[in-house]
Structure 1
Amino acid sequence: MRNLIVLGGGEDQIPAYREGRRLGYRVIGVDQRPDALGAAEADQFLCMTSRDPEGIAHALGPIDVAAVISPASDAAQESVAELSRIYRTAHQPAPGALRCSVDKGFFREVIDRLGLPAYRYAQCDSAEELVKAAAGMDYPLIVKPADSSGSKGITVIDGPAELPGAIEHAWKYSFSRQVIIEELVAGRHCAVESFFADGRLAFMAVTDRTITGPPSMISISHVVPADLDEAVYARLGEAVTAICAEVGHQRGPVNFDFVLTAAGEILFIEMGARLGGNGMPLMVRHAFGLNTVEAAIRLALGEPLRITTSHRRTAALRILTADVDGVLTAIEGLDDLKRMPEVVEVQVFKSAGDRVRAYTQAGHKLGYLVMVADTRRLLESALDEALRTLRFVIEPDTKGSE
C-alpha cells in the first residue's frame, strides 16, 4: 500500500488523515506533540517537528510515498516541498506561492509589483530598523512574525513606546527572526477560499469574517456568501488570478485574508497556498458540496482536478472558544444544539477534565459549529440561539496558565 504523509496532527489536518485512508492510502502523520489528534488517526505516527524534512525522510527510510500534504499550516509548507522533492512525488508546489505562504514581506512585495492597493509596512530582523521604519507610519500598527500563522506572536500597538516589546514578542514565534510591522487597516474583514486548476480560478468562496479584535485579531466566525457587490466580487477574482499568476500558482488551493475599506479598496493582508484553517474546508463542503480536502490530496497525487460544486447554501462557521485558561468541567446543551435544524455539523475537540486555553491563538479553539439556512437573516438568528444553547463550563486557573 502506498503512503500519504500528512504534516501536522491538529484538528485542521485530521480530515486529510481520514480522506487519505478513504482513498486507499496508508497515512503517516507527523507532529511534535505526542498527544496530537493525529497520533490516534495515523497508520504510522512520527512524534517530531514537521519543519525537519530531512529528519522525517531519515526516520521513514526509502518508502513509497505517493504524496505529501499539510492543510492549514504555513509553517510546514517548506517541508511539504522538500519531502515532495525527496520522494519524487507527482506534484511540486510553486516556489513563489510557497514563499508567499511563509514570508509575509515577500507577499507584500508581490502586491506592490502588481500595483494593487496597499498599505505601509516594513520587515527585517533588526529592532532598530523597525523602529525607524515605524516613524513613517500611522498608528495603530500590527506587529507579527513574518513566517508564522494562527495569530501567534501578534500585537496591536497604539504608540512607539509599545513597539520594542511587541518586536520581542514576535521574535519568540519567528523561526527566521524576521518581524513585519504594518499599518492596521480599517474596514470589513473578509476571507477567500479558492482553488485553481490549470491556471484558471475554478472555485472561489468569499466569506464575511469576524475577528476578535486587538490584540490577537483572530478569526471567530465566517459567513458565506459574503455580502458584497457583484463589482467587488469581479475585482476580487481578477486580483486573486493576477496574484497567483505572478507567483506561478497554477493548480491547487489558495486562501487570502483581505479588508474592504470604506472607499471600496480591496487590501490583501495575507496569502496561504494551501487549504485554509479554522474549519474552512468543512464550511465549503456544506455550503457548496465541494470536498476540497479530497481535491487537494488528488492534486498532490498528480491526478486530474475536477472542481465542481453541487449546491449553494448560506452557511456560517463558528469557532468555539474559551474566555479563560482553566479546566473544562462540563459541556452543556450539546444534544439540544445538535437537534437544531440549522446545525449541520458540530465538532468538539475537548472533553470534561481537559485543560483549555483562552482564545489568544488559533490553536486554542474548542471546536467548530457549522450551520445553514435559507437566508442570512435566518442564519444569524439561528446562530445566536445556538450560542445561547451551548455552554462550556470552565474552572478558571487561579495562578494563570501552566
Structure 2
Amino acid sequence: MRNIIVLGGGEDQIPAYREGRRLGYRVIGVDQRPDALGAAEADHFLCMTTRDPEGIALALGPIDVAAVISPASDAAQEAVAELSCIYRTAHQPAPDALRCSVDKGFFRAVVGRLGLPTYRYAQHDNVDELTKAATSMGYPLIVKPADSSGSKGITVLDGPTGLLDAIEHAWKYSFSRQVIVEELVAGRHCAVESFFADGRLAFMAVTDRVITGPPAMISLSHIVPADLGDSVQARLREAVTAICAAVGHQHGPVNFDFVLTPGGDICFIEMGARLGGNGMPLLVQHAFGLNTVEAAIRLALDEPLHISTSCRRTAALRILAVDVDGVLTAIEGLEALERMPEVVDVQVFKTVGERVRAYTQAGHKLGYLIMVADTHEQLETALDEALRTLRFVVEPDVKGAE
C-alpha cells in the first residue's frame, strides 16, 4: 500500500489523516508531541519535529510515498517541499509561494512589486534596526515573528514602552530569528480561502473575520459570505490571481488575511500556500459543499482536480476557547447546543480533567462550532444564543503555584 505523509498531528491536520485513509492510502503522521491527536489516527506515527525532513526520511527509510501534505502549518511547509523532493512525489510546491508562507517580508515585497496597496514595515534580526524602524514608523505597531502562524508571538503596541519585550517575545516563535514590525492597519478584517487549478482561480470564499483585541489579535470567528460588494469582490479576485501568478502558485489551496480600509483599499496581511487553519476547510464544506481537504490530497497525488460547489449557505465558524489557564472541570450546555437547528457541527478537543490554556494563540483553542442560517442576521442571533448555551468551566491556576 502506498503512503501519504501528514506533517503535524493537531486538530487541523486530522481531516487529512481521515481523507487519506478514505482514499485508500496508508497514513504516516509526524508530530513532536507524543500525545498529539495524530498519534491515534495514523497507521504509523513518528514522534519527532516536522521541521527535520532528512531525519523523517531516515526514520522511514526507502518507502513508497505518494504525497506529502501539512494543512494549516506554515512551519512545516519547507519540510513538505524537501520530502516531496526526497521521495520524488508527483506534486512539488512552487518555491516562491512557499517562501511567501514562511517569510512575511518576502510576501510584503511581492505585494509592493505588483503595485497593490501596502503599508510600512521592516523586517530584521537586529534589535537596534527594529527599534530604529519602529521609531521611524510611529505607533500603533504590530510586532511579530516573520516566519510563524497561528498568532504566535504577536504583540500590538500603542507606544514605545514594551517594544524590546515584544521583540524578545516574537523571537521565541521565530525559527529564523527574523522579526517584522509593521503599521497597524485600521479597517475591516477578512480572510480568503481559495483554490487554484491549472493557474485559474477555481474557488474563492471570503469571510468576515472577528478577532480578539490587542495585544494578540487572534481569530475568534469567521462568517461567510462576507458582504463586500461586487466591486471589492472583483478587485480581490484580480489581486489574488496576480499574487499567485507572480509566485508561481498554479495549483492547490492558498489563503490570505486582509484588511479592507475605510477608504476601500485591500491591504493583504499574510499568505499561506496551503489549506487554512482554524477549521476553515470545515466551514467551506458546510457553506459550499466543497471538500478542500480531499482536493488538496488529490492535487498532491497529481490526480485530476474537479473543483465544484454543491450549495451556497450563510455559515459561521466560532472558535471555542477560555480566557484563563487551568483545569477543565465541566462542559455545560453541549447537548442543548447540539439540538439547535442552526448548529451543523460541534467539535470539542478537550475533555473534563485536562489542562487548558487561555486563548493567547490559535493552538490554545478548545474546539469549533459551525452554524448555518438563511441570513446574516439570523446567524448572528443564533450564534449569540449558542455562546450563552455552551459553557466551559475552568478551575484557574493559582498564581505562584508550580
Structure-1 separation of matches of 2:275 and 2:334:
28
Counterpart in the other structure of 1:295? 295
Report the Cα offset of residue 164 of structure 1. Answer: 1.3
Counterpart in the other structure of 1:85? 85
The answer to whether residue 342 in structure 2 is matched with residue 342 in structure 1 is yes
Aligned to 1:160, what secondary structure does the other structure show? coil
Q: What TM-score do the two structures reach when normalised by structure 1?
A: 0.99
Q: Deviations over 1:184-222 (max 9, x none)?
A: 011000000000000000000000000001111100000
Q: Deviations over 1:330-363 (max 9, x none)?
A: 1011011111110000000000000000000100
Contact (CA 8 Å) 1:325, 1:401: kept in 2 or not? no
Structure-2 separation of matches of 1:186 and 1:156:
13
Report the Cα offset of residue 140 of structure 1. Answer: 0.6
Structure-1 separation of matches of 2:361 and 2:379:
26
Counterpart in the other structure of 2:171? 171
Aligned to 2:161, what secondary structure does the other structure show? helix
Report the Cα offset of residue 132 of structure 1. Answer: 1.1
Letter in 2 for 1:194: S
Report the Cα offset of residue 165 of structure 1. Answer: 1.3
Matches within 5 A, 1:241-256: 241-256=241-256
Counterpart in the other structure of 1:208? 208
Letter in 2 for 1:394: V
The answer to whether residue 70 in structure 2 is matched with residue 53 in structure 1 is no
Report the Cα offset of residue 399 of structure 1. Answer: 2.1
Counterpart in the other structure of 1:141? 141
Structure-2 separation of matches of 1:162 and 1:351:
37
Structure-1 separation of matches of 2:378 and 2:401:
39
Report the Cα offset of residue 302 of structure 1. Answer: 0.5
Gaps of 5+ in 1: none
Gaps of 5+ in 2: none
Matches within 5 A, 1:103-182: 103-182=103-182
Counterpart in the other structure of 1:269? 269
Letter in 1 for 2:27: V
Q: Deviations over 1:119-162 (max 9, x none)?
A: 00000100001111112213110000001111111111111232
Q: Deviations over 1:54-79 (max 9, x none)?
A: 00000000000000000000000000
Q: Deviations over 1:81-122 (max 9, x none)?
A: 000000000000000000000000000000110010000000
Counterpart in the other structure of 1:227? 227
Counterpart in the other structure of 2:278? 278
Structure-1 separation of matches of 2:74 and 2:401:
26
Matches within 5 A, 1:299-310: 299-310=299-310
Q: Deviation above 4 Å: which 4+ runs of structure 1? A: none
Letter in 2 for 1:22: R
Aligned to 2:249, what secondary structure does the other structure show? coil
Structure-2 separation of matches of 1:135 and 1:353:
47
Q: Deviations over 1:10-41 (max 9, x none)?
A: 00000000000000000000000000000000
Letter in 2 for 1:152: K
Counterpart in the other structure of 2:4? 4
Counterpart in the other structure of 2:24? 24
Q: What TM-score do the two structures reach when normalised by structure 2?
A: 0.99
Which is further off, 153-162 or 52-61? 153-162
Q: How many residues align?
A: 402
The answer to whether residue 311 in structure 2 is matched with residue 311 in structure 1 is yes
Contact (CA 8 Å) 1:51, 1:75: kept in 2 or not? yes
Aligned to 1:233, what secondary structure does the other structure show? helix
Matches within 5 A, 1:327-366: 327-366=327-366
Aligned to 1:49, what secondary structure does the other structure show? coil
Report the Cα offset of residue 163 of structure 1. Answer: 1.3
Aligned to 1:215, what secondary structure does the other structure show? coil
Structure-2 separation of matches of 1:400 and 1:234:
54
Letter in 1 for 2:238: E
Cα distance change, pair 401–375 in 1 and its aligned pair in 2 (3 A): farther
Counterpart in the other structure of 1:66? 66
Structure-2 separation of matches of 1:120 and 1:229:
27
Aligned to 2:322, what secondary structure does the other structure show? coil
Contact (CA 8 Å) 1:326, 1:401: kept in 2 or not? no
Cα distance change, pair 46–72 in 1 and its aligned pair in 2 (3 A): same
Letter in 2 for 1:334: L
Report the Cα offset of residue 48 of structure 1. Answer: 0.2
Aligned to 1:34, what secondary structure does the other structure show? coil
Structure-1 separation of matches of 2:123 and 2:82:
26
Matches within 5 A, 1:353-392: 353-392=353-392
Cα distance change, pair 155–400 in 1 and its aligned pair in 2 (3 A): farther
Structure-1 separation of matches of 2:401 and 2:101:
31
Aligned to 1:16, what secondary structure does the other structure show? helix
Aligned to 2:393, what secondary structure does the other structure show? strand
Report the Cα offset of residue 400 of structure 1. Answer: 6.3
Q: Deviations over 1:376-395 (max 9, x none)?
A: 11111110111111110110
Structure-2 separation of matches of 1:277 and 1:206:
15
User: What percent identity do the matched residue pairs reach?
Assistant: 84
Aligned to 2:82, what secondary structure does the other structure show? helix
Contact (CA 8 Å) 1:253, 1:296: kept in 2 or not? yes
Structure-2 separation of matches of 1:68 and 1:325:
35
Structure-2 separation of matches of 1:185 and 1:311:
34
Letter in 2 for 1:349: F
Report the Cα offset of residue 401 of structure 1. Answer: 8.5
Structure-2 separation of matches of 1:36 and 1:399:
28
Aligned to 1:58, what secondary structure does the other structure show? helix
